Structure formats: structure tokens, C-alpha cells
Amino acid sequence: MSHLSSEAIETTKLTRRYGYRVALKNVDIKFPVNGIHGLFGANGAGKTTLMRIISTLLRPHGGKIRVLGYDPIEESIEVCERIGIVGDKDLLYGELSGYENLEFYAGLYGLSKEILNVNSTKLTEIFGVKSWLHEPVKILSTGLRKRFDIVRSLLHEPELLLLDEPFSGLDRDTTEVFKEYLGEIRKSRTVILTTHNLQLGVELCDDYVTLRKGEVLSSGPASEFDGVL
Amino acid sequence: MASGFHAALKIAKKDILSQVRKKFEIFSMLLFALIAGLAFSFALPSALVEDLGGEAAIGAALIWVIVFFTGMFGFAPIFLAESESGTLRGLSVAPIPAWSVYIGKVIYGFVLMSLVEIFIIPVIQVLFGFTMFGEEPLLVVATLIIGTLDLAAVGSMASALTMPSESKATIFPLVYFPTATSGLILLIEITRVMATGTVVVIAAGLTVSLLFVALLAHLVAMITLSAGVFSYALSP
């Protein structure tokens, strides 16, 4: 359960710089608990920087942020326990099999063998990789690796799922399966989604925030998104 | 959430399994150690060896010199591989303390270098005609374990610190060499005394036991310091 908060993400004047370049400038965002929330913007708008701050990978240089009610700097372990991330690059070890990768990450999240087996069986069936479970990841295609990476991110049943361009590398069938899965979990989990496929983003998301040059350009229900980045 | 030490063991197990399946990396380290041992045995004429204290003294020192240089191959990529493949991000966002990632890598480095030592120590002993497990075999084994852990602790930290640098190949030895040298000198001294069987008083009041305690203190200091600052190496 989230930590006494009705907001999954709440930022106040959030600022982050890389040297002299400002990546995020006084960003105020509120994404409520549960549902799919879109983070839109052109390249270099600050989406990935914001995702990295939410996932505890980056420290902000100014402002405040709460993730599921926790401070990602002071309470990073509490945040990490509750989030799952999928990025453009998978987080799998090529020499290990899909199952060994899942077993490794399950160990880091303190999951029991029973939970690992139940969840990995269910998720690998949903994402169609069960028959590849014991093959070394290095021999798998980009799409299959991506599917395993999605399974990895969901294994510990995260409250908050951070998806940074999750559909890149996925074929149409898997994209449909993933969309369907997100549709099922949206009532009980929070999903933050960044994608360049705005049509897909609008179709999936409940609401959105658009960033431009590190600042909030617009926000509101996804059905009212005007397509301006 | 996994406990820190449990997570460290998981990370070490994963690295060892990956390394075993790659095969060629550990093979190239063993080959380097063998070639270095053979080259030293050709390069040092027996007259010079006698002048330098005999086969046992030279052989004992060479073991650690070879292990030290082989460590450059073994330790440098410890974090680089994770950084380049992007999997370091997976460790960074896992609900585990940063020090557990570091300790996991130290355990992996220890296992890797132990394999090298198991291979090279008998080779050097045969080439130079001595045994280092004579009078105090337990102390020799303890020195090997503590010394290897010490080199792994320093090597892992050097690898983490040099990870963001564009010129890692240059920076790594510049960090590894000065931080490992004090431990290396202690290791060579202890092993040389054990191998030559000479009186255990090296200087007034300076016994092998005292050197061993100093080595242990060096290891504790290196691990404590490295584990404490490691979170800064993980977070950009």
C-alpha cells in the first residue's frame, strides 16, 4: 500500500540540471494513485530525467518530490520496493537464462521461491515466453528479451510501474497483449507511461502531462490532449 | 526486501555463473598468470635469485605480483560490464543497500582471484622449487584469504570509481595501484617469511603476527571506507 497518500507522484518546483543545461525547471506534477498517466514531450523535453528521479536513479537539484508518499532520496529503499521499471534497454544478463534472471531479481526483492514460481508462470504465459524460460537470454531476439524484461518488472507486483518507451521492439501481437494487461491492472496499480506513439498514449492513458524544454506545457485528461508537444 | 548480505551473495552468485559460462575470460587470466610465471623463471638467473634471497623469497613475492597484475584484468571490468549493458540500473533500483552491491562484487572478485591462485601457486612453487605451506600452513592459508579479499576490495572500488571515466584503461591502474600497494607490501613480506622459514622477527618488535594484524586492519579499513562511499559511485 502507498504511504498515506492519494497521489502516486507529487512534485513541487522540481528542478534538475546537467552542468549548465536545465533538464527540469520548476516542474509541478500530480498523478493520482491508480490509473495510467502519460508523460509526453519531444526528445530532450525532460521525460527520462523525471522518470529517473522518480525511480531514485537521479537526485533533483531543487524542489520536492514524493513517490507513493515517500521521499525517493531519504526513503529510496521504500520507493524501490514499490516500483517496477521498463526502459528502452532491458535489464537482463545475457549469460543467464530467462528463469535465472527472474530468480536473481526475485532474490533482490526478497520474494519467496513459491511467489517467484507462481508469478513467473503466470506472467511468462501472458507474455508468451514460457517456452523460452530456460534458454540463455543472449540468444533471444530483441522482442523476446523485451517481453522477459516486462515480466521481470512485474514479478514483485509493483504498486507503481514506470514505462519509458515500453513498446519499442515489441511486435503488434505483444503490444496488444501488453495493452490488455495494462488495462487489467489500471484499477489497482499506477502506471506512468512515456511514449512517442501519441495515438497509443492517448488511447491508453487516463490523463497526461506534456513537458517542453524541462517545463510543464500542458496537462489534463488524455481525451483532451491536443497533440501539441 | 532482501537483507543486504543475502543480496550480496545473490549478486556474487550471478557474476560467478556468468563468468563460468563465458569461460574465455577466466581462461585468459589463467594464461596470463602462467606466461608471467614462466617468463619470470626464465628471466631470473640462479645467481641473481641467490643474491635476492633464494628461490623461496623470490617465488613468494612473484606469486603476489602476478596475482596483483592479473587482478587488473579481473577487477577492471567488474562494474564496467554492468554499466555498459545497462544492468547496473537494475541493481540501482532494487530495494537493497548500495553496500550490498559492492560486497557482492568483492565476493565475486575474491572467487575469481582464488581460482587464479589455486592455479598459479603450485606452478610457481614447482618453477622455483620451494613450498610456502611448510611450518605455518594455516597462517599461509589465512594470509591468502585475507590478501585476496583485500585486493578484491580495492579492485572493486577502483572499478566502481573509474566507471564513469572515458579513459578507464588509464585511470583504473592509477587508482588501483596506489590503494593496493600498502596491502601488497604486507602480503609479500608475510608470504616471504612463511616460504623462507626465516626467523619471524623482521625488525625490532615487528613479527609476522603483527604484519598479519596490519593486513587485517587494511582489509577492514578498505571495505568499511569503500562500502561507505559506494552509494556515490552508483548514483550519478
Residue-wise pLDDT for B58-87, tens only, equals 888 899 999 999 988 888 888 888 888 889
Encode pLDDT of A151-196 as tens digits: 999 999 999 999 998 888 788 888 898 999 999 999 999 999 998 8
pLDDT at residue B171 tops 80: yes
pLDDT at A167: 87
| Separation between Cα atoms, residue B50 and residue A56, nearest integer Å | 60
Between B204 and A216, residue with greater pLDDT: A216
Give the pLDDT of residue B47: 73
State how far the Cα of B220 lies from the Cα of A43, in Å rounded to an integer. 47
DSSP labels, A128-190: T-GGGTTSBGGGS-HHHHHHHHHHHHHTT--SEEEEESTTTT--HHHHHHHHHHHHHHTTTSE
ipTM of the modeled complex: 0.90
Residues of chain A with pLDDT under 50: 1
pLDDT at B83 (0 to 100): 85
- Residue B51: which H helix or E strand, with range? helix B46-51
Cell numbers 532494487 correspond to B94
Residue A160: its chain B contacts at CB < 8 A? none
The residues near A151 (Cβ < 8 Å, ≥ 6 apart) are A98, A102, A120, A123, A124, A127, A129
pLDDT at B2 > cutoff 70: no
Query: Which of A121-130, B113-122, B202-211 is least confident?
Result: B202-211
**pTM for this model (two decimals):** 0.89
> What is the Cα–Cα distance from B189 to B53, expressed in whole angstroms?
13
Measured CA to CA in angstroms, residue B67 lies from A88, B127, B186, B214 at distances of: 39, 16, 14, 20
Asked whether the beta carbons of A27 and A211 are under 8 A apart, the reply is yes
Interchain proximity A136–B95, CB inside 8 Å: no
What pLDDT does residue A144 have? 92
Mean pLDDT of B48-56: 76
Please say if the pLDDT value at position B34 is more than 80: yes
Identify from B1, B3, B25, B103 which residue to disrupt to test chain A contact, counting A C-beta atoms within 10 A and taking the largest count: B1
One-character DSSP codes across B139-193? HHHHHHHHHHHHHHHHHHHHHHHHTT-TTHHHHHHHHHHHHHHHHHHHHHHHHHH
- pLDDT: which is higher, A40 or B198: A40
Residue with cell 519531444: A42
Of B6, B14, B236, the CB nearest to A58: B236
Question: In whole angstroms, how large is the CA radius of gyration of chain A?
Answer: 17
Cell numbers that stand for A62 in this block: 531543487
A77–B contact, CB cutoff 8 A = yes
Q: Is A94 exposed, middle or buried (0-12, 13-18, 19+ CB in 10 A)?
A: middle
φ/ψ (deg, to 5) at A12: -130, 115
User: Which pLDDT belongs to residue B169?
Assistant: 78
Note whether A104 contacts B: Cβ–Cβ < 8 A. yes
**Residue B198: its pLDDT value, please?**
66
Which pLDDT score, from 0 to 100, does residue B167 have? Answer: 80
Residue type, B34: L
Of B18, B90, B235, the CB nearest to A95: B18
The residue among A57, A77, A91, A165 with the most chain B CBs within 10 A of its CB, best to mutate, is A91
Element (H, E) at A11: strand A7-18
User: Whole-angstrom Cα distance, residue B216 to residue B213?
Assistant: 5
